A and B are shown apart, each in its own frame.
Chain A
Amino acid sequence: MKYAARRILALFITMILVSFLAFAAFHIISGDPARAILGMNATEKQLELMRHELGLDKPFIVQYFSWLLGFFSGNLGISYSYRQPVASLIMPKLKVTLVMVLISFAIIVVFSLPLGLRAAQKSESRFDWIRTSINQLCMAVPAFFLSILVSYVFGIILKFFTPGDFPKMDKNLMGALRYLFFAAVCIAIPRIAMAVRMLKSTLIEEMEKDYVRTAISRGNDRVEVLKKHVLKNSLVPTITFLGQTMAEIVGGSIVVEQVFGIPGMGRFLVASISNRDYPVVEALVVILAFWVILSGTVADLINQKIDPRLKLGGRA
């Protein structure tokens, strides 16, 4: 329990550090938000009033803490280009991206585990190089190129969905899910290839250890040893990898959303960067960073449940 408490404390410290870095960076680059909101024609008096309203006349550190408090109470500031609260702008987009990322994660878990096991078992085979090469090739194809191909083949030729016409989630849930599924596959494929490669090398390394040789030479069934001991011991690096995957696929979704025309967070982020809409970019950056830190911590906590040795300060 103490370990979990320590991890969660560390989680909060990193979150605060990250949010401070992001806030400071955007504080420096965003120039004068009052002018950004009111435009070039505003008088000095109006600017003064706006700055006061936004709390920009207060010291930097006070501004940071009021922003942080606002962040945790759901007040993410006002968008420059839409003149609307950032929170209400990004909520529907976050929902779309979250659903897509979860579908993608499920696909990765379902496919990579059996494929990785098979790759490890067959690693002595003469045809291992074919498997390895296909795997490398899957990693080499850029996600957005894959997206272009998939949206052409499944969207335009086979008409499973209409590229560019994303159904509203609350009106046509099935249609939206089907649309997201194809995007999720594109995010998943390179990651599955990476997972298979990682699993293969982890399993092979584990199988070469002394205790496995002993277990097999004592007459235990090979498959049973694999299932009961090797798999269990390979679980920790696998969970760590899945934690990283959870973080990485959010980054990967940015480009894929663009190709498929999915109104998600990534597309909004890119548009906001082009518009220099800093409150939106800032909120999205911090949310994404929290997501990454959170996935890492959850993976660590699960690992510690699986392998209590990690409590003693060892790292997975």
Chain B
Amino acid sequence: MMKKKLNGYLIAGCIITGIIVLWIIIGRFYTPYPPTKMSSAKLQAPSAAHLFGTDKFGRDIFSRVMQGSGTTLLIAALTIMIGAGAGTVVGAVTGYFGGIVDEVLMRLNDALTAFPSILLALVIISILGPGKYNVIIALGIVFIPSYARMMRTAFAAQRDVNYIISARLMGASNLRILLIHMLPNTLHVLLPALTIGFNNAVLAEASMSFLGIGVTPPDVSMGYMLSEAQGMFRSAPWYALSVGGVIALLVFGVSLIGEGLQIMNKEVN
């Protein structure tokens, strides 16, 4: 393993993402106020008692964002696991074995990528109905084709490389070759793609819930809160600003990690 130098983007990205993720995880167990508790302190501007202010029902926005971003984070993480996981399997099978399976799956892939991703997700939701888990399934399916295509290229590129041929001559099984010899060598493609995919998933979930066809109450997510906040923008602009700010910061942090990973790959090559 070659020694890889860390770079500024990667460090900054990890710090920003780390802080936000930690904050969100804490929000699963503890929030300063109960997120749905209404109080008489309505429409208050940010202060020491309410860091992000309160909304028109007197709910503490800091607590709401803390909890709601947890839903978004969970959805994005699971989406990427489905999309990248299934995409890698499809990519490995098609890229390594080729043949008729490859042809059929890739044509299907082409047809699926013809639909804009948000549209495909909306159509799947219109079949399954809204809700947290259906959003995960819909987005997960939507993300499979792009990962499949990318991983197919990464696996196919190694098919006739010397160390794979040697492994095969030594009698290694296909499964062993795919898992132990090829998969680690696709990570330089997969890892940056995971960061991009994660961000797309966060933004897609937010868009869908914002449109009212994503997460449904009692679950709250970033997109759901933003649509709530849009209605109170004139009376409580801090609501929209804090929700939007947290989304932007999270996505920014993760994309810095992606940028850093790519620079690191370039330096190694």
Q: Decide whether A and B are members of one complex.
A: yes
Q: Is the interface of B mostly helix, strand, loop or mixed?
A: helix
B123-170 at interface with A (beta carbon < 8 Å): 123, 125-127
**Contact present for A251 and B118 (CB under 8 Å):** yes
Docked pose: A145 CA to B245 CA in angstroms: 9
Docked pose: A149 CA to B245 CA in angstroms: 12
Most chain-B CB neighbours within 10 Å: which of A140, A152, A251, A285?
Answer: A140
A29 at the interface (CB under 8 A from B): yes
Residues of chain A with a CB closer than 8 A to B244's CB: 141-142, 145, 148-149
Q: A14-B111, A276-B126 are in contact. Are A132 and B9 (CB under 8 A)?
A: yes
**Contact present for A292 and B116 (CB under 8 Å):** yes
Residues of chain B with a CB closer than 8 A to A14's CB: 110-111, 114
Most chain-B CB neighbours within 10 Å: which of A17, A251, A285, A292?
Answer: A251
Residues of chain A with a CB closer than 8 A to B249's CB: 140
CB nearest to B234 among chain A residues: A156
**Contact present for B119 and A148 (CB under 8 Å):** no
Docked pose: A143 CA to B248 CA in angstroms: 10
B256 at the interface (CB under 8 A from A): yes
B27-62 at interface with A (beta carbon < 8 Å): none
Q: A142-B206, A142-B247, A251-B116 are in contact. Are A273 and B213 (CB under 8 A)?
A: yes
**Contact present for A21 and B111 (CB under 8 Å):** yes
A54 at the interface (CB under 8 A from B): no
Residues of chain B with a CB closer than 8 A to A21's CB: 111
A244-299 at interface with B (beta carbon < 8 Å): 247-248, 250-252, 254-255, 258-259, 269-270, 273-274, 276, 281, 285, 288-289, 292-293
A137 at the interface (CB under 8 A from B): yes
A220 at the interface (CB under 8 A from B): no
**Contact present for A292 and B212 (CB under 8 Å):** no
**Contact present for B9 and A129 (CB under 8 Å):** yes
Most chain-A CB neighbours within 10 Å: which of B119, B125, B229, B233?
Answer: B119
Docked pose: A255 CA to B118 CA in angstroms: 10
Docked pose: A156 CA to B240 CA in angstroms: 15
**Contact present for A137 and B252 (CB under 8 Å):** yes
A5-61 at interface with B (beta carbon < 8 Å): 14, 17-18, 21, 25, 29
**Contact present for A29 and B247 (CB under 8 Å):** no
**Contact present for A273 and B207 (CB under 8 Å):** no
Within the complex, the shortest CB–CB distance from B207 to chain A, in Å, comes to 5
Type the 1/0 row for B234-249, where 1 means its CB is closer than 8 Å to any CB of A.
1001001001100111
CB nearest to B196 among chain A residues: A139
Residues of chain A with a CB closer than 8 A to B240's CB: 145, 148-149
B122 at the interface (CB under 8 A from A): yes
Residues of chain B with a CB closer than 8 A to A252's CB: 118
Docked pose: A50 CA to B234 CA in angstroms: 50
A125 at the interface (CB under 8 A from B): no
A214 at the interface (CB under 8 A from B): no
Docked pose: A276 CA to B122 CA in angstroms: 12
B192-214 at interface with A (beta carbon < 8 Å): 199, 203, 206-207, 210-213
* B side interface size, CB within 8 A: 42
Most chain-B CB neighbours within 10 Å: which of A17, A129, A250, A289?
Answer: A289
Q: A25-B123, A142-B207 are in contact. Are A270 and B118 (CB under 8 A)?
A: no
CB nearest to A282 among chain B residues: B123
Residues of chain A with a CB closer than 8 A to B118's CB: 251-252, 254-255
Residues of chain A with a CB closer than 8 A to B126's CB: 29, 273, 276, 281
Within the complex, the shortest CB–CB distance from A157 to chain B, in Å, comes to 10
Q: A142-B244, A145-B244 are in contact. Are A29 and B127 (CB under 8 A)?
A: yes
A84 at the interface (CB under 8 A from B): no
**Contact present for B114 and A148 (CB under 8 Å):** no
Residues of chain A with a CB closer than 8 A to B226's CB: 142, 144-145, 148
A136 at the interface (CB under 8 A from B): yes
Docked pose: A148 CA to B237 CA in angstroms: 10
A172 at the interface (CB under 8 A from B): no
**Contact present for A254 and B9 (CB under 8 Å):** no
Docked pose: A248 CA to B203 CA in angstroms: 14
**Contact present for B111 and A145 (CB under 8 Å):** no
**Contact present for A273 and B116 (CB under 8 Å):** no
B98 at the interface (CB under 8 A from A): no
Within the complex, the shortest CB–CB distance from B201 to chain A, in Å, comes to 12
**Contact present for A255 and B210 (CB under 8 Å):** yes
**Contact present for A255 and B211 (CB under 8 Å):** yes
A73 at the interface (CB under 8 A from B): no
B117 at the interface (CB under 8 A from A): yes
Q: A145-B226, A152-B237, A288-B119 are in contact. Are A133 and B213 (CB under 8 A)?
A: no
Residues of B whose CB lies within 8 Å of any CB of A are 8-9, 107, 110-111, 114-119, 122-123, 125-127, 199, 203, 206-207, 210-213, 226, 229-230, 233-234, 237, 240, 243-244, 247-252, 255-256, 259
The 9 tightest CB contacts between A and B, nearest first, are A251-B116, A145-B244, A140-B251, A140-B252, A273-B126, A289-B114, A251-B118, A255-B207, A141-B248
Q: A29-B127, A269-B119 known; 14 other A-B pairs, CB under 8 Å?
A: A14-B111, A17-B107, A18-B114, A25-B123, A129-B8, A132-B9, A142-B207, A142-B244, A148-B240, A247-B116, A255-B211, A258-B211, A273-B125, A292-B116
* 9 A-B contact pairs sorted by A residue (CB < 8 Å): A18-B111, A136-B259, A141-B248, A145-B226, A145-B244, A152-B233, A273-B213, A288-B115, A288-B119
